[in-house]
């Protein structure tokens, strides 16, 4: 695949300009900006300033200690927002007006995703032991912008999963999935790398991932049923040998350009087992719950009570 056809070669500025100045896309653009600002930044900073108004749960797990702190993964971690914005540019440039309605629907759905995750955040805050590391300037930005109170479910994981699944959906809508196989694999590698990065930079616990997978199954069970959660988990920490050798080596999240994982195979297996076990526990508890978020809120309450004993 020519790198010019890579999703990772696309401009994020183009997507902002195009969506704002295209009448069909502008309402969706405004909604998603409002949703991200309110549901993630405003609400989180408000809870940090007015602390004690909501219960706060420390969600670290003993398995987190098996994952080394690797600051070099920070550039992959902070790429999660650009990850979905570049996808807009890719489709808009490739298909022009033909892609406007699918892109509009995707942008709306991204705003909905933030609101969906906030159904948990507005009832119970969650955090992890995040090291105060500012040797790299990007970590200083993270500490300034992210009060670190919205860990369960992980929006980072939710955003990249939704972006990857919608990339496949839009490719089919454009009737071009055969010609976009390399780009689809590239997006899968990006989804997995960013999901790993949240653990390596200690922004999330291993508990945050199954919560995100469970949330995605509820957000759109047709696109992310349990079998997809199992596929996702099986590829974590794989350095993408099983994803594809066709992903461009110049891609920012390709294993040739990304830091290697340093986790023993036995530990990887334990972490994956825990992720799937907790994911299926949430699904089982949902059967007798009044709402989709109830199993997550019960988990947070139980975890908080256990830490007090």
pLDDT tens figures, 175-196: 999 999 989 999 999 999 999 9
Q: Supply the pLDDT for residue 245.
A: 52
pLDDT of residue 239: 61
The rounded Cα 260 to chain-centroid distance in angstroms is 20
Query: Would you call 79 helix, strand, or coil by DSSP?
Result: coil
pLDDT of residue 210: 98
To the nearest whole percent, how much of the chain has pLDDT over 90? 73
User: 189-240, pLDDT tens digit by residue?
Assistant: 999 999 999 999 999 999 999 999 999 999 999 999 999 999 999 999 876 5
Q: How many domains does the chain have?
A: 1
| Separation between Cα atoms, residue 236 and residue 67, nearest integer Å | 13
Question: 181: number of CA atoms within 13 Å, CB side?
Answer: 6
DSSP 216-246: HHHH-TTTS-HHHHHHHHHHTTSTTTTT-S-
The alpha-helical segments, DSSP class H, found in the chain are 12-21, 26-36, 43-49, 74-77, 80-95, 100-121, 137-145, 155-173, 181-200, 208-219, 226-235, 265-286, 294-308
pLDDT of residue 131: 83
Residue 143's pLDDT is what?
79
Give the model's pLDDT for residue 249. 55
Please choose, from the candidates 185, 141, 149, 150, the residue with its C-alpha nearest in 3D space to the C-alpha of residue 167. Answer: 185
User: What is the domain extent for residue 136?
Assistant: 3-308
- Per-residue pLDDT band at 242 (split at 50, 70, 90): very low
pLDDT at res. 301: 95
Average pLDDT score over the chain? 90
The answer to whether residues 128 and 160 touch, using CB atoms and an 8 Å cutoff, is no
Give the model confidence (pLDDT) of 249-274 as tens digits. Answer: 555 555 445 566 678 999 999 999 99
- Which helix (H) or strand (E) segment holds residue 56: the answer is strand 56-58
pLDDT digits (tens, 9 = 90+) for 140-166: 888 788 889 999 999 999 999 999 999
What is the per-residue pLDDT for 234?
94
pTM, 2 dp = 0.93
Cβ–Cβ under 8 Å, residues 279 and 213? yes
């Amino acid at each position: 695949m020519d790198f010019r056809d890579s999703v990772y070669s696309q401009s994020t500025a183009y997507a902002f300009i195009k969506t704002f100045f295209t009448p069909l896309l502008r309402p969706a653009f405004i909604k998603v900006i409002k949703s991200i600002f309110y549901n993630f930044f405003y609400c989180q900073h408000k809870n940090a300033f007015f602390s004690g108004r909501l219960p706060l749960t420390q969600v670290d797990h003993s398995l987190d200690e098996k994952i080394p702190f690797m600051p070099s993964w920070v550039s992959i971690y902070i790429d999660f927002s650009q990850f979905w914005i570049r996808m807009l540019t890719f489709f808009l440039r490739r298909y022009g007006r033909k892609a406007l309605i699918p892109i509009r629907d995707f942008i709306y759905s991204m705003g909905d995703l933030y609101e969906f995750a906030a159904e948990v955040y507005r009832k119970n805050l969650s955090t992890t032991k995040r090291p105060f590391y500012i040797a790299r300037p990007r970590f200083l930005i993270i500490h300034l912008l992210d009060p670190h109170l919205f860990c369960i479910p992980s929006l980072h994981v939710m955003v990249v999963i939704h972006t990857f699944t919608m990339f496949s959906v839009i490719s089919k809508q454009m009737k071009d999935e055969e010609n976009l196989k390399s780009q689809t694999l590239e997006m899968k590698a990006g989804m997995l790398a960013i999901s790993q990065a949240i653990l390596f930079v200690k922004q999330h616990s291993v508990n945050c991932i199954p919560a995100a997978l469970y949330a995605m199954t509820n957000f759109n069970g047709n696109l992310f049923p349990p079998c997809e959660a199992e596929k996702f988990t099986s590829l974590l920490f794989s350095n993408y040998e099983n994803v594809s050798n066709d992903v461009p080596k110049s891609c920012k999240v390709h294993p040739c350009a990304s830091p290697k994982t340093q986790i023993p195979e036995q530990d990887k297996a334990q972490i994956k087992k825990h992720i799937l076990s907790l994911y299926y526990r949430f699904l089982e508890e949902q059967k007798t719950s009044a709402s989709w978020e109830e199993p997550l809120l019960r988990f947070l309450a139980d975890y908080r009570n256990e830490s007090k004993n």
